Structure 1
């Protein structure tokens, strides 16, 4: 089993697979060199971006991410402004300081290679890193994959050629489950809610107070991201001249009386989701939920329904534990990578997770929670990932706003029924997986089809 804290990761925008993952990969590559006693011998490093990382890497800040990782930074702890200065220094000096203190020549224009012709067979997001000593001898040659949501894997981990070569993942938990059916059976036999099952599993990873503190921090980072997004005007980077819209809508909502609460509900959810994704597009600090491209949906629903009550801390934890549990099902049974599944694997999964979390907060039974998650995904099946200009802006920002509204409606629909839905959550997850496998690569984060080729960039 994985932990829900693997699903919710603090990082920076604009992409969990193309920014957060590559930071972690480059950081791990340098750590491996250090552990092998080779770091001091390094005189040249080359980073090769493959597949979707090459095709949309420029718009997703993947070169920047690679440099941050080589500098030894981690996405969870880096300061975005300091990180920008560090990258600017590398670009200006064409040198990079390694973690042992010595400096090597590094020109991002030549030492970061966009291998557009390399389409990895194991996963669309491939990243090859090589290091040489002063004589030109190869010190290390590693290929990694950014598998979505900030998760990374080596070639060996994905191939798993032999039982004794498997890299252990996760720990033994009291309530292991591999499907929604398993999870519901556990709830039925123990009388526990989904959130309680997940929390008891988290106890196997760390003391409960640490889990609760981590959940509170995740909620805090989400709220802070919304707050920043509501206050910052201006144009998003990247060349599309997309203006931030959340601040103007926020001012309008605050200044006008709630004449029609039903209509304004959409506006509130829209503004919170857009605030997060405008921050993400600008490289700000966000939480993968389960990815950066879909980072606005869960915070939007949380902000509107879980923060203004006396039991807000309990509601937030219940929401995140439930949503995280549903996210684990998608990660384990399918994928949360836009490069594998299209946007159904990002916005679709986030909508499903948010619907489940909100249903739990509203007192839904475990079956109703799974029904809400199923509804949230069922009406996102086939959603393509076709970012214009390779930027996480069009249609990504609005898509999060729509996803937040869908999630709330899915939770409401689920509460009106107590029996197993005709389509189960397991069935819809498998349908998403099959749809993603059948979907043309043009519509899976390559910017080679859909809106990406039909919208003029300038």
Structure 2
């Protein structure tokens, strides 16, 4: 059976600031609890220890990895937990030095001693972690790897850094861009139509439609919250939110009371090039400022790159096509998800493995492809748009200052969004038959570049801006 990655695997709802360092460890903690229950050990647990390795250790504090682990072990769900409850739960654990394991029983827990940051790397993947539960009679341990985008695997699954999703039987199994294009040609379907047929093998049409719109409404709410929130981001870098001021300057005295009315208000604003550039930047900044503040976002394909796809989709809705409906929104998200899954299968979406080209680069390619299709591009042009966007992110390093998903991460989302729009326009004006670089070739090149990249530029905060800028001066 072929590997099948759903659009809902690529676009997950969760809490910031990082899909690989926050959402992944959170999900790993949930999996550990599930294993304890399967082994009938949960009731016998007297203590839990968590060892973080590699990038999870080096940048874990800045990415709230320790908080995510505690929340996961407490039985909280990142998709539904009220974000305002996060600090209360964490404060209670630290103050009382006990953990409400699986929201079921209390055990002693000292976060400073029971979460251990080990700087050495495990051989399988840069983001490794081991959970150990102590019972009256024995210890039970399990090691997991957060491989990007909230995906979590165990080492025994060979090749899991590229093949981490469930196995299933899509009518159109796709491992690379060439296969996708062949299906589009032989079936005379668009990319989104192929994706929809695959999704129907797992869910009803109503479930697909409602979940896609839930993803979009989460994105829209995130942009709305970020555009209306001011102040300083947490973490110690004293980064001032910029989306609020930019938004105020752009929107003027418009009246609205909810995200949908706000969207309609934006459509009435001036649409000169500078204003368009500022709006797209504002949308991207808003999302990633929410992400940096441990808000709810959609991995697209990761938390660190969560602003690109919503910003480009908003651009399409408020600038390009005022008549766009749910049909185009769902079409956009399905194309984006499929392109992201092809990158995941052929390369990586983990900055700890591939640098920021694996996050901002992939998200820009996803957004470019999606925009190209909803603007009327052929499947070949859609793939060309993705290729152009990634081609101009190749080699982008991941060097967050202080291990926080703030500098340069937030700004990079604005750049990725603008490049995506540019790539889509270039593809639309080009006969795809004249393309010199197939999408699969740029994905292969990205993976080779990732393997050649020095490890200090892969989300370790041991190189680049992370060492060039003194955190104390921020």
- Shorter chain as denominator, the TM-score bin is over 0.9
What residue in structure 2 maps to residue 424 of structure 1? 438
Contact 1:39 1:100 in 2 (8 A): no
What residue in structure 2 maps to residue 163 of structure 1? none
1:141 maps onto 2:141 in alignment: yes
| Two-structure CA RMSD over aligned residues (Å) | 1.6
SS in 2 for 1:149: coil
Counterpart selection for 2:423 from 398, 402, 410: 410
Distance of aligned partners of 1:352 and 1:37 in 2 relative to their CA distance in 1, 3 Å threshold: same
> Unpaired runs of 5+ in structure 2?
254-267
Q: What do the CA deviations read for 1:40-98 (whole angstroms, capped 9, x no partner)?
A: 11001000000000000000000000001101122222221122211111011000112
Q: Distance in 1 between matches of 2:58 and 2:45?
A: 29
1:8 maps onto 2:11 in alignment: yes
Distance of aligned partners of 1:244 and 1:60 in 2 relative to their CA distance in 1, 3 Å threshold: same
Distance of aligned partners of 1:214 and 1:440 in 2 relative to their CA distance in 1, 3 Å threshold: same
Distance of aligned partners of 1:154 and 1:423 in 2 relative to their CA distance in 1, 3 Å threshold: same
What residue in structure 2 maps to residue 396 of structure 1? 409
Matches within 5 A, 1:357-368: 357-368=370-381
Matches within 5 A, 1:350-361: 350-361=363-374
Contact 1:343 1:384 in 2 (8 A): yes
What residue in structure 1 maps to residue 211 of structure 2? 214
SS in 1 for 2:355: helix
Counterpart selection for 2:451 from 437, 441, 444: 437
Distance of aligned partners of 1:96 and 1:259 in 2 relative to their CA distance in 1, 3 Å threshold: closer
Contact 2:153 2:164 in 1 (8 A): no
What residue in structure 2 maps to residue 58 of structure 1? 61
Q: Distance in 2 between matches of 1:172 and 1:428?
A: 27
Counterpart selection for 1:281 from 292, 299, 303: 292
Matches within 5 A, 1:19-98: 19-98=22-101
Residue 34 (structure 1) shift? 1.2
Contact 2:152 2:164 in 1 (8 A): no
Residue 102 (structure 1) shift? 2.1
Contact 2:251 2:269 in 1 (8 A): no
Contact 2:55 2:352 in 1 (8 A): yes
SS in 2 for 1:148: coil
Matches within 5 A, 1:14-413: 14-99=17-102, 101-116=104-119, 118-134=120-136, 137-138=138-139, 140-158=140-158, 169-255=166-252, 261-306=272-317, 309-413=322-426
Residue 260 (structure 1) shift? 6.6
Q: Distance in 1 between matches of 2:294 and 2:153?
A: 24
Contact 2:172 2:198 in 1 (8 A): yes
Residue 220 (structure 1) shift? 0.4
Contact 2:75 2:103 in 1 (8 A): no
Distance of aligned partners of 1:173 and 1:96 in 2 relative to their CA distance in 1, 3 Å threshold: same
Residue 259 (structure 1) shift? 6.3
Q: Distance in 1 between matches of 2:342 and 2:206?
A: 25
Q: What do the CA deviations read for 1:174-204 (whole angstroms, capped 9, x no partner)?
A: 1111111110010000000000000000011
Distance of aligned partners of 1:100 and 1:456 in 2 relative to their CA distance in 1, 3 Å threshold: closer
Contact 2:57 2:117 in 1 (8 A): yes
Residue 263 (structure 1) shift? 1.6
TM-score, normalising length from structure 2?
Answer: 0.93
Distance of aligned partners of 1:448 and 1:100 in 2 relative to their CA distance in 1, 3 Å threshold: closer
SS in 2 for 1:286: strand
SS in 2 for 1:241: coil
Q: What do the CA deviations read for 1:133-155 (whole angstroms, capped 9, x no partner)?
A: 135x31x1111000000000012
Contact 1:306 1:315 in 2 (8 A): no
TM-score, normalising length from structure 1?
Answer: 0.96
SS in 2 for 1:130: strand
Distance of aligned partners of 1:205 and 1:443 in 2 relative to their CA distance in 1, 3 Å threshold: same
Residue 430 (structure 1) shift? 0.5
Residue 100 (structure 1) shift? 6.4
SS in 2 for 1:156: coil
Deviates more, 1:71-80 or 1:296-305: 71-80
Contact 1:382 1:436 in 2 (8 A): yes
Contact 1:336 1:345 in 2 (8 A): yes
Residue 170 (structure 1) shift? 2.8
Residue 36 (structure 1) shift? 1.1
